[in-house]
Amino acid sequence: MIDNFDEHDDFEHDKSKSQIKKELLELTALGDKLAKLPKHQWQALPISDTLKHALNEVSKINHHIGLKRHIKYIGKLLRNEDVEAIEQQLLQDNQQHTLEVQREKLCEHWRNRLLQEGDDATFELLQAAPNLDRQQLRQLVRNATKEQQQDKPPKYQRELYRYLRDNAQFQSP
């Protein structure tokens, strides 16, 4: 007599064709995303040298169909990679970029307030970022304001922005 086994239990471990196809398409999409990143960004990812070489070759391909084929090859190489670690690193890089953009916008905001409001905004900024040098900040604001009034190119305005960007350590309220 043949042993009966529960076929349902056996199928739980196997993936359906549509699930496998979906995963392969996701890997190909990730490969396309990696191929569009600047070289310095994917060089820092936890990927194999083979995949780095394949990503490096993308810039040399100028034929549309050849590029599609190469992206599929990159997707195939991604099967042997730690995809979760790659996606985690990409997410972390994206969050870091978002924080940098927010900081730049904050510095622009403070520069504009300093030029419009003068000493009141300077006092508030020194409360929010006490590490800044009061004298240097006031001198930069004076120069930038004078420059703005005389319709000169924004040399000191840029200098004020750079000073804020490079030196301001904003405290959380």
Q: Which of 32, 50, 81 is the last residue of a domain?
A: 81
Q: Quick one: 75 and 107 in the same domain?
A: no
Q: Quick one: 97 and 76 in the same domain?
A: no
Interaxial angle between packed helices 119-128 and 83-117, expressed in degrees from 0 to 180 and rounded to the nearest 10: 150
Structure tokens at 172: 């959380």
Q: Quick one: 63 and 104 in the same domain?
A: no
At residue 11, the pLDDT reads 46
- Name the one residue in this structure whose structure tokens are 């905001």: 109
In a domain, 2, yes or no: no
Q: Quick one: 97 and 150 in the same domain?
A: yes
Q: Quick one: 152 and 103 in the same domain?
A: yes
Catalogue the long-range contacts made by 166-172 (C-beta closer than 8 Å, 24 or more residues apart).
167/131, 167/132, 167/133, 168/107, 168/110, 168/125, 168/129, 168/131, 168/132, 169/129, 169/131, 170/103, 170/106, 170/128, 170/129, 171/128, 171/129, 171/130
- Name the one residue in this structure whose structure tokens are 């940098």: 100
Q: Quick one: 163 and 114 in the same domain?
A: yes
Q: Quick one: 140 and 161 in the same domain?
A: yes
Q: Quick one: 99 and 71 in the same domain?
A: no
Give the span between the Cα atoms of 91 and 87, in whole angstroms.
6
The CATH number given to whatever domain includes residue 152 is 1.10.60.30
Q: Quick one: 68 and 116 in the same domain?
A: no
Residues in the chain: 173
* Type of residue at 33: K
Q: Quick one: 162 and 97 in the same domain?
A: yes
Cβ neighbour number for residue 86 with a 10 Å cutoff: 19
At residue 16, the pLDDT reads 86
In a domain, 172, yes or no: no
In a domain, 136, yes or no: yes
Contacts of residue 24, Cβ cutoff 8 Å, sequence gap at least 6: 75
At residue 139, the pLDDT reads 92
Dihedral (Cα; 90, 96, 98, 99), 10-degree rounding = 170
In a domain, 15, yes or no: no
Specify whether the CB–CB gap between 121 and 137 falls below 8 A.
Answer: no
**Helices and strands (H, E) in the chain, number of each type:** 9, 0
Give the pLDDT of the chain (173 residues) as one tens digit per residue. 444 444 444 444 577 888 888 888 898 899 899 888 888 888 888 889 999 999 989 988 888 888 999 999 999 999 888 889 898 988 988 898 898 899 899 999 999 999 999 888 889 898 888 899 999 999 999 999 999 899 889 899 999 999 998 888 876 54
Q: Which of 28, 52, 81 is the last residue of a domain?
A: 81
Name the residue range of residue 161's domain: 90-167
- Number of compact structural domains in the chain: 2
Q: Quick one: 94 and 77 in the same domain?
A: no
The whole-model pTM stands at: 0.58
Q: Quick one: 75 and 44 in the same domain?
A: yes
